[in-house]
Amino acid sequence: MYSRMLVLRFPKTEVEKAIVCFLASDFNLTFNILKATILPRKEGVMVMELSGTRKNFNKGVQYLKEHGVQVQPVGQDIKRNKAKCTHCGACIAVCPTAALSIVRPEMNVVFDHKRCSVCGLCVPACPPRAMEVRTVGNTGLK
């Protein structure tokens, strides 16, 4: 199974079409939409995790590009600054993937980077600003 986090930018002429649905039906890919801003007659932006065989993944990405969708790998990462973290748990309530959890009875917040979807919801939720967004190098995409 091949899986990547992607940012899709839809031209305003394509936002009302069910392009993403065809990734599942035509290319046997699964997707998890993490964040989306799609409005009629405006450019749409979607952050998703796309999974399947590498061959189908590449075909699906090519399909998106043929429909005018700009496809980019996620260029950000989330990092927890342990020195700033007060273990208040505010981030846990907003994390959609349970990448942030609390260990009991110690009441320590732990961050499982592998589960993180880079949605960024934890960043503004963290009172001491221990959750930080960092830019990572472009990993390239066919």
pLDDT in tens, 104-123: 999 999 999 888 877 788 99
Task: Please provide residue 127's backbone torsions phi and psi, each rounded to the nearest 5 degrees.
Answer: -60, -45
Of residues 83 and 115, more confidently modeled: 83
Q: In angstroms, how far is CA 142 from the centroid of its own chain?
A: 18
Domain-located, residue 85:
yes
| Shared-domain flag, residues 13 and 60 | yes
Domain-located, residue 140:
no
46: its two tokens: 């979607």
pLDDT digits (tens, 9 = 90+) for 5-45: 888 989 988 878 888 899 999 999 999 988 888 888 788 88
pLDDT above 90 as % of the chain: 49
Whole-angstrom distance, CA of residue 142 vs CA of residue 137:
16
Whole-angstrom distance, CA of residue 41 vs CA of residue 38:
9
The pLDDT-based confidence of 59 (bands split at 50, 70, 90) is very high
Q: In which residue are the tokens 């043929």 written?
A: 66
Given 73, 102, 124, the domain boundary residue is 73
0.85 exceeded by pTM: no
Q: Report pLDDT for 47.
A: 85
Given 73, 91, 126, the domain boundary residue is 73
Check if the beta carbon of residue 37 is closer than 8 Å to that of residue 44: yes
| Shared-domain flag, residues 50 and 69 | yes
| Shared-domain flag, residues 85 and 46 | no
Of residues 89 and 115, more confidently modeled: 89
| Shared-domain flag, residues 55 and 85 | no
- CATH code, domain carrying 96: 3.30.70.20
Mean of all residue pLDDT scores within the chain: 87
Full residue range of the structural domain in which residue 47 is found: 2-73
Domain-located, residue 142:
no
Given 48, 73, 98, the domain boundary residue is 73
